[in-house]
A and B are shown apart, each in its own frame.
Chain A
Amino acid sequence: MSEEKKTKKSESSEIERILESSRREFLKKAGLSGAAIITGAAAIYAGFRHEKGKRPENVIKVLTPDNRLVEIPADQVKDYKPGLKVFQTRGRAGLKGKKWVMLIDLSKCRNARKCVTACQAAHHLRPYEYHMNTLIMQESVNMPAYYMPKPCHHCDNPPCVSVCPVDATFKRQDGIVLIDNERCIGCRFCMAACPYSARIFHWQDPQNTEEDKGEIYNIELNVPQKRGTISKCLFSADRLRDGMLPYCVSACPNGVYYFGDENEDAVTNGTTKETVSLKELLKKNGGYQLLTELGTKPRVYYLPPKNRLFEFEEPDSGTQGEKS
């Protein structure tokens, strides 16, 4: 404005006679400028109002953990990645109201070992590191040999948990026995105490040490595995949290595995996806458990290898070790 004024003044000093008309001109220009400013401001304000009016279309509704429905601008929404603390807290607590059980039908097992490989892939294990192993069993000379998949038995009276000096292995409310490799000191007392030989130890750097670098440790998957700590079958606690069946159960092509919740008395076959009553299944087929005389109260049940679907064949690799 002042710049305009100065220019006007120098003009009037040059041409005196048109002073009056210039003055009028000046007023006119000033008036125009003022109108333009007001219009501009109004336009910005209108635009602002307009944008404000558009907002409800760009938010999304989110349910908070305490059951409140809230709205969040869409551009501020980020994918949720739980941190170590979340994994640890929820992993140690377990899934409320559940009592997981596994049932293994030995009459259907033909040693396909799909359960073993699926498990090893999920938990980043070497081919000879087992959370789940299939054993050849023969009780005595005249007894027939059969295949027996052997996971951790997730005992209700777990000897491994009793002896752990640092609470690295623990029993959850949903029946699963887990191992926290952020805590484990590698004393291997649990291995000595476990009658099912369910536990393995990372004597060297685990399989995917390089690839898993920087990953957040998920206690329910036990990945990344760590050197100098224990690992074992977890009943695929990470899959159960997502409402899926364990890796081994889903991978079996022969319908060997049933998995489910003891509280609901319902177990689902991993191959046929058929859900049946646990008690009925055990009752009709003469279900049993391993080494119950030790008082460990295992959560894994077996159905005997009668009326076998597949004939027993000695595996190609010849002697794989002693028979029971």
Chain B
Amino acid sequence: MTDHDNQQYKDRLEKVASVVLRPVRINNKGFILWMGFLIVAFAACLFAYSIQLRKGLIVTGLRDYTSWGMYIANFVFFVATSLVGMLISCVLGLIGFKWVKPVARIAEIIAIAFAAVAGLVIISDMGRPDRLPYVFMFGRVQSPILWDVTVVTTYFALSLLLWFFPLIPDLAVAKNKLSGRPAFLAKAYEILSFKWVHHEEQYRILHIAVRILLILVVPTAFAIHTVTSWLFAFTPRAGWDSSIFGPYFISGAFVSGTSALLIAMYFFRKNYKFQDYLTDFHFEKLGRVLFLVSIVYLYFNLNEFLVPAYKMKKLDAIHLHELFMGKYALLFWSVQLGGLVIPIIILLIRKMRKPLPLFIISMFVFAASWLKRFIIVVPPQAHPFLPVQNVPAEWHIYSPTLIETAITMASLLLALIIITVLSKLFPVLPVCELAEDEAIADNELLSGIENNSK
């Protein structure tokens, strides 16, 4: 542990804190406009939900054959994206990559927002949302839905703690540096920092607690997305009946999560002026991470589509024909090429692993990730084991309605609201950890120079 009383550390702390706390103000125009837009748009989308509550799910494009649509695809997408918290803090952090420190908290914020909203998204798909308590009153442990509810809430709680624990020393540092901000903020920092005095013993306990959380989050995160994949893989339908759905979903989750993180990083770098801490180096590293997770995902895609495509079993053949050459061909190929193959090729070029190109690539990958969930969820339902007959023509193909789209938009807006609030009221970068790291980096630099000169 670095000596927290030493003067060099204190100077660095001052420097880091001044940069990180600069955007922590809620009275600037940009923030008010942005928040206003989010809230108005969210309220409009909530109105769409009120129509659904009044009239039932008939207002969606869902019918008896395709009975899971946009909402469930959206749920899978939200769970997937929330996994980035585990990838960055836990997998990369526990392995010992020091460079994840400035991005870890951003990843946690994304994890919190997306996990929380994932839980709400599923309610929008329920025929009887008023009976939500029944899941707890009459829950059957044999049902994967129960597993999903359990692990998503656990993951949300763990992510919240993992975001909050390392924040405590930062709040203690920041509580006296909030001149010009509303008084309630300083008061909140005071309460939430739990009288932190930067004692070595406090740091020791904090590090143990964080380490335990880091370890606990790994299986929980794997569980949430594996169980989510099982909602499909546990049915016998062609297109869902796959034993690699767990890893296929997890690897896909890392792709959408990493792209979300890169988008957020680019935003904070530009708007919060964090270019000294979210450097080209960090983007370069995360560009490589995106490449790695994408190529793993590509490998799983190859297995998921080529294996049944070679055998062409009756129902698999119908399903794959729809994807490759049929109704979903345009969507399928734009997602697979535009959201996976082409980004992988572009990411091989060093120049493309700079902040702006990565931001643009990530936007494509992020959008494709959403559409990919749609492709996973929707087409397999159109061709069940027995033919679809004697039903209204519009039941044969699912097309989402405006109301449904608005309700889906509401979830994204809510996630953005949560991210905005958390990143506006609290430091986005870990102040204390960065101050320590700078000291270490300086020392390493010095020793490096010494070594070279020898």
A interface with B by C-beta (< 8 Å): 128, 130, 133-137, 150, 159, 162-167, 183-189, 191-193, 195-197, 199-205, 227-230, 290-291, 294, 320-324
Contact = CB atoms under 8 A, between A and B. Distances in A.
Given A165-B146, A227-B56, A195 B389 contact: no
B119 to A, nearest CB: 14
A135 B145 contact: no
Closest 4 CB pairs of A and B: A186-B127, A228-B127, A321-B389, A204-B58
Given A150-B386, A159-B235, A187-B126, A197 B67 contact: no
Contacts of B149: 165
Contacts of A200: 64
Contact of B135 (A134, A166, A199): A166
B247 interface: no
25 contacts: A130-B390, A136-B387, A137-B387, A163-B145, A164-B140, A165-B149, A166-B138, A166-B140, A166-B143, A183-B134, A183-B138, A185-B132, A189-B145, A191-B64, A195-B237, A196-B385, A196-B386, A197-B65, A197-B384, A202-B127, A227-B56, A228-B127, A228-B128, A229-B128, A321-B389
B125 interface: yes
A196 B126 CA distance: 22
Contacts of A196: 385-386
Contact of A321 (B56, B60, B232, B388): B388
B125 A187 contact: yes
A189 B127 contact: no
Nearest to B384: A197
B340 to A, nearest CB: 26
A191 B232 CA distance: 12
A164 B143 contact: yes
Given A321-B387, A324-B386, A166 B139 contact: yes
B175 interface: no
B387 to A, nearest CB: 4
Contacts of B235: 159, 163, 192-193
Contacts of A195: 236-237, 384-386
A163 B384 CA distance: 18
A192 B236 contact: no
Interface string B402-421: 00000000000000000000
Nearest to A324: B387
A150 B385 CA distance: 12
B236 A294 contact: yes
B56 A203 contact: yes
Contacts of A164: 140, 143
Given A197-B64, A291-B385, 18 more contacts: A133-B389, A135-B387, A137-B387, A159-B236, A163-B145, A165-B146, A183-B131, A184-B127, A185-B126, A186-B127, A187-B127, A188-B67, A189-B143, A189-B145, A192-B381, A193-B236, A203-B56, A321-B388
Interface of B: 55-58, 60, 62-65, 67-68, 125-128, 131-132, 134-135, 138-140, 142-146, 149, 231-232, 234-237, 381, 383-392, 396
Nearest to B146: A165
Contacts of B391: 128, 321
Contacts of A197: 64-65, 384-386, 388
B127 A320 contact: no
Grouping DSSP codes into helix (H, G, I), strand (E, B) and loop, the B interface class, with mixed when no group exceeds half, is: loop
Contacts, number: 143
B235 to A, nearest CB: 5
B131 to A, nearest CB: 4
B236 A229 contact: no
Given A163-B145, A185-B128, A204-B55, A135 B67 contact: no
Nearest to A186: B127
Contacts of B62: 203
Contacts of B60: 203
B134 A205 contact: no
B339 to A, nearest CB: 25
The interface centre, meaning the residue of B127, B237, B384, B396 with most chain A CB atoms within 10 A of its CB, is B127
A320 B389 contact: yes
A322 B67 contact: no
A135 B387 CA distance: 7
B145 A187 contact: yes
A200 to B, nearest CB: 5
A135 B126 contact: no
A231 to B, nearest CB: 10
B146 A135 contact: no
Given A189-B143, A195-B385, A133 B390 contact: yes
Nearest to A204: B58
A166 B141 CA distance: 9
B104 to A, nearest CB: 34
A111 to B, nearest CB: 10
A285 B173 CA distance: 85
A189 B140 contact: no
A188 B231 CA distance: 11
A164 B139 CA distance: 9
A150 B235 CA distance: 20
Nearest to B138: A166
A294 B396 CA distance: 24
B238 to A, nearest CB: 10
Contacts of B140: 164-167
B141 to A, nearest CB: 10
A273 B49 CA distance: 52
Given A165-B145, A228-B128, A229-B127, A185 B67 contact: no
Contacts of A229: 127-128
Given A164-B140, A165-B135, A227-B56, A322 B68 contact: no
Given A162-B142, A164-B143, A184-B127, A189 B387 contact: no
Contacts of B128: 184-186, 228-229
A187 B123 CA distance: 9
B389 A135 contact: yes
A307 B390 CA distance: 26
Contacts of B139: 165-166
Contact of B388 (A159, A185, A322): A322
B392 A128 contact: yes
A200 B64 CA distance: 6
A132 to B, nearest CB: 11
B127 A185 contact: yes
A202 to B, nearest CB: 7
A290 B56 CA distance: 34
B106 to A, nearest CB: 33
A302 to B, nearest CB: 12
A199 B68 CA distance: 14
B144 A163 contact: yes
Nearest to B60: A203
A133 B385 CA distance: 14
A136 B135 CA distance: 39
A171 to B, nearest CB: 12
A141 to B, nearest CB: 13
